[in-house]
Amino acid sequence: MASFKSSGQHLEELRDDLTNKSDTLKEQMDSDEVKKDTICSELKAVTMKLEEVDRRLGKLNSAKREYMKTFQEVEFALQKLQDASEEIGDRIETFAQSGAAPGASVLKEAGLSLDGTMR
């Protein structure tokens, strides 16, 4: 019977060990669950920030495209003004070289003299 008693004690010790291990694992699982919940919350917050950044980046890129379009239109308009200015300068120079007053033919047709008085 002494053998039976020691086997029973041995089984009791094994049961206690398994209970302790089970309790330890439950504590670890609870701790891991808390960590998981924290990480999920952080992930949700980071995902929301990323979506906001993506939305703002889209707005900025759209604004940049509009500014670039406007810039190109302004450059084109300035080039047109420059071309027109050069053409007018060339015409004035041609009139000055020919000795004719600019707009003299128009004034003549209107019946005005170069000083703006009626003929």
| Digit-coded pLDDT (tens) for 53-63 | 999 999 999 99
pTM above 0.75, yes or no: no
User: Using one digit for the tens of pLDDT, what is the confidence trace for 75-92?
Assistant: 999 999 999 999 988 888
Is 101 in contact with 114 (CB distance < 8 Å)?
yes
Per-residue pLDDT, 1: 46
d(CA 105, CA 119): 14
Looking at beta carbons, which pairs linking 104-107 to residues 24 or more positions away fall under 8 Å? none
Q: Give the tokens for residue 28.
A: 């670890």
Do residues 111 and 118 lie in contact, with contact meaning Cβ atoms separated by under 8 Å? yes
Contact 92, 102 (CB under 8 A): yes
